[in-house]
Amino acid sequence: MIVRVVDVYVNRQNIEDFKRITVENRQGSIREPGVLRFDVLQSESDPDHFILYEVYRDEQATLDHKETEHYRRWREAAEPMMARGRQSTACAPVAPTGPGEW
């Protein structure tokens, strides 16, 4: 299991559009067989800051995700809205770890 935590800073004037396209990407992502969780979070203290919390079955699922049409559309639309490049951190879960716990 692989968790990716993606930090995205969005230009203020693009926040609503970014939210819309990111929710669309999430809807496609959660239908992928290798995606166990895909959360879209917005910081309460800094509304320009978004966190994507993504849980994948394995490394292949992360690669498969990047080949989907919904991800490609999101990336092309979202990148011009970003105040700076997104940062992704790969994490190994400590807890939960069991198949039914996610």
Here the CATH number for the domain that contains residue 40 is 3.30.70.100
Whether residue 102 lies inside any domain: the answer is no
Whether residue 101 lies inside any domain: the answer is no
pTM for the structure as a whole:
0.92
Whether residue 97 lies inside any domain: the answer is no
Written as one letter, the residue type at 9 is Y
Whether residue 41 lies inside any domain: the answer is yes
Whether residue 98 lies inside any domain: the answer is no
Whether residue 76 lies inside any domain: the answer is yes
Instruction: Tell me the per-residue pLDDT of 73-101, one tens digit each, with 9 for 90 and over.
Output: 999 999 999 999 999 999 998 887 766 77
Number of domains in the chain: 1
- Say whether pLDDT at 102 is over 70: no
What is the span of the domain harbouring residue 61? Answer: 2-91
- Say whether pLDDT at 53 is over 90: yes
Short-list 27, 46, 49, CA closest to 38: 27
